[in-house]
Structure 1
Amino acid sequence: MPKPSTADYPDRLPDFCNLGVMLRILLGVEGLVWTTAWLQKPYLAEMWHLFVGYSVVVQASLLLTLVLLCVLRRPLQRLPYHWGAVASMAVALITTALVMDGLGHLFADAHLAMTWREAVNVIVVSALLLGYFNLRGRALSPALTEARLQALQARIRPHFLFNSLNAVLSLVRSEPRRAERALENLADLFRVVMADNRQLSPLRREVEISRQYLELEGLRLGERLRVVWHIDKAPGNALVPPLLLQPLLENAVYHGIEPATQPGEISVNIYRSDGQLHLIIRNPYQHDGQRHSGNKMAMDNIKSRLMLHFDVEASLHTQIHDDYYQVHITLPYRAAP
């Protein structure tokens, strides 16, 4: 398979509602303000006074601009990239002019007014920021594809395929309908895995895929595997990285159920709270160091995909107790259009 290049991915505007995007813009612009003040007034006392004065205007304009761009995010992203970039710069320019005019009326001695120089500065800085985020997106997109391919290699373990096929073969004569259903589940799982999974997927689809996977595991594990779903409060339209839940459940089976001699229970709890989507998977904890090394690789891959999709807004935490292992994923709630 050819390695993906940056040319394979279209230009796109950043997600202005993303906390990581906001922080990078605020810190980047503040760094430019600091540099400008230092170049104009190299002495610390004078530079600090000038820096504070500049920051009041710049941060007020910037915060209002980010709020407006967040509100207008969907319409802007539907535009062709260049028109969206022009519209974003126009919003920044108009907002800065309004803020400077408002502050000029409040502080008459400050003599604040938008001149051609300030207008050029706003346009140049806006263009630089948009260019940075576009290049960053192009750099991360191949990484996202590589992460998906690594997840594919880690997820489809040979023992799972071998055991699933053996379980299906054992049902062909005695329970042909159940065997047919199992083959359909296996085909669906591989179809999803081999698809282009760069776009976010509705949560209801991820739950459906995970149920199909657990049905396959149930064929060979029988009563050893019990699954409890707490998803009554789960928003089915929430957008999540594709194949996020199924690998976690596969790890739960592989590390928590297979090594045990007694039946074990996997608990899946998904709910929405304060604009955040929570996914909590809990399984029995087995003290098997060799298996746990593979678990760390899977967790690192999922963390990478969460970071690529949601930046600092998503998190993954694991907890180990005497008798159970828990994974808790938090990500921003985004509804499918």
Structure 2
Amino acid sequence: MSIRQFPATHPLPDWRNFGVMLRVLLGVNALALAAALLQVPELALWPSRFVDLAAIVEPLLLISLGLLSLGRGLLWRLPLRAGQALVLVLAGGLAFALYGYWGWLLPDDAGSPWRAALLAMTAAALLLLYFDLRSGAFDPAQTEARLAALNARIRPHFLFNSLNAVLSLIRARPQQAEAALESLSDLFRAAMRDPKELVSLGEEIELAKQYLELEHLRLGERLSVDWQIADLSLDLLIPPLMLQPLLENAVYHGIEPTPAGGTVHIAITRRDDALCIAIGNPVSGPTARTDGNRIALANIRERLALYYDLEARLEIEHGITAYEVRIVLPWPKKNR
């Protein structure tokens, strides 16, 4: 996967992405709102004029977004300027055709189709300029470096604790110590993986299990784990290191401060067109480690924004006795 395929970094936007659609809708309606303000002789008439303009603009906008979504693959295969030109032609052509149709139905009320086409192409050009400038702010090299920094977040205390646990096993149980070192090596190899490469859900689950096994070495019976994985394909591609940081938080903030320990619950399900990952842990009361938890969650939110724009989200449910974090990812389009 190229870094240029992330929604935030591509100069010609992914018209199927919810964040792109929302920005286009807001941008065009903001232009219509400004146009309505310029057209009315007094401010009291502004809302009604905007409603009149919206009745004209919205059908054109929705049809354009639908066609651009269908043709996104073709547009991305074209050279950038050719793709942008095609978007302008589509916007102008649709505006001309719709105004021509309205002029045939209501000859007294319709305006010039050429004027409508020019206005539609101007609005499309402004939006394309915005997306071009926005992609420039996400330079590929800087974005890849940022993702690498965000991915490499296995805490030093985990490394030291794991090494101490392995040292305690070397003489008594050398084979288990060797297996633990191999698991630790896999975790750090995953942290150094190319950040623009997606991994399979199965790989993420296996890495998470290796992490939990390492934590079990030092926490013993205080740590128990409850896996609930729905019947779905483990070949689904997701960003790397989605599970491990959340499990690390669950152990560090939920299990370690509790003398009796507790159970970490992991549920992976599909809801409509979304993959849902929920990780819960017990809460024993206020803890001084909450700042680290907020930093980790902000880290994951930023990575989700770089990978999916607004199509993914992170939800938190903090109760009196339990804490749960949910990641909701869009179901991969190739699997829809």
TM class, shorter-length: 0.7 to 0.9
Letter in 1 for 2:83: G
For residue 221 of structure 1, report the CA deviation from its aligned partner: 2.2
Q: Spell out, residue by residue over 1:252-287, the C-alpha distance to the aligned partner (whole angstroms, 9 max, x if none).
A: 111112222224211101111121222111111122
- List gaps (5 residues or longer) in structure 1: 1-8
Counterpart residue number, 2:72 = 73
Superposed counterparts of 1:50-199, under 5 Å: 50-112=49-111, 114-115=113-114, 117-140=115-138, 142=142, 145-146=145-146, 148-150=148-150, 152=152, 155-198=153-196
Superposed counterparts of 1:8-19, under 5 Å: 11-19=10-18
Q: 1:80 to 1:218 in 2, by over 3 A?
A: farther
Q: 1:247 to 1:42 in 2, by over 3 A?
A: same
Letter in 1 for 2:76: Q
User: 2:281 touches 2:324 (CA, 8 Å); kept in 1?
Assistant: yes
TM-score after normalising by structure 2: 0.84
* Alpha-carbon separation, structure 2, partners of 1:203 and 1:45: 56
For residue 62 of structure 1, report the CA deviation from its aligned partner: 0.8
CA RMSD of aligned residues (A): 2.8
**SS of 1:108's equivalent?**
coil
**SS of 1:330's equivalent?**
strand
User: 2:11 touches 2:136 (CA, 8 Å); kept in 1?
Assistant: no
Q: 1:46 to 1:255 in 2, by over 3 A?
A: closer
- List gaps (5 residues or longer) in structure 2: 1-7
**SS of 1:290's equivalent?**
coil
Q: 1:33 to 1:231 in 2, by over 3 A?
A: same
Superposed counterparts of 1:1-337, under 5 Å: 11-44=10-43, 50-112=49-111, 114-115=113-114, 117-140=115-138, 142=142, 145-146=145-146, 148-150=148-150, 152=152, 155-198=153-196, 200-335=198-333
Counterpart residue number, 2:4 = none
Q: Spell out, residue by residue over 1:168-216, the C-alpha distance to the aligned partner (whole angstroms, 9 max, x if none).
A: 3344455444333322322222122123314554433322321222222
Q: 1:166 to 1:28 in 2, by over 3 A?
A: same
For residue 140 of structure 1, report the CA deviation from its aligned partner: 4.3
State the structure with bigger RCO (CA 8 A, min sep 6), 1 or 2: 2
TM-score after normalising by structure 1: 0.84
* Alpha-carbon separation, structure 1, partners of 2:77 and 2:69: 14
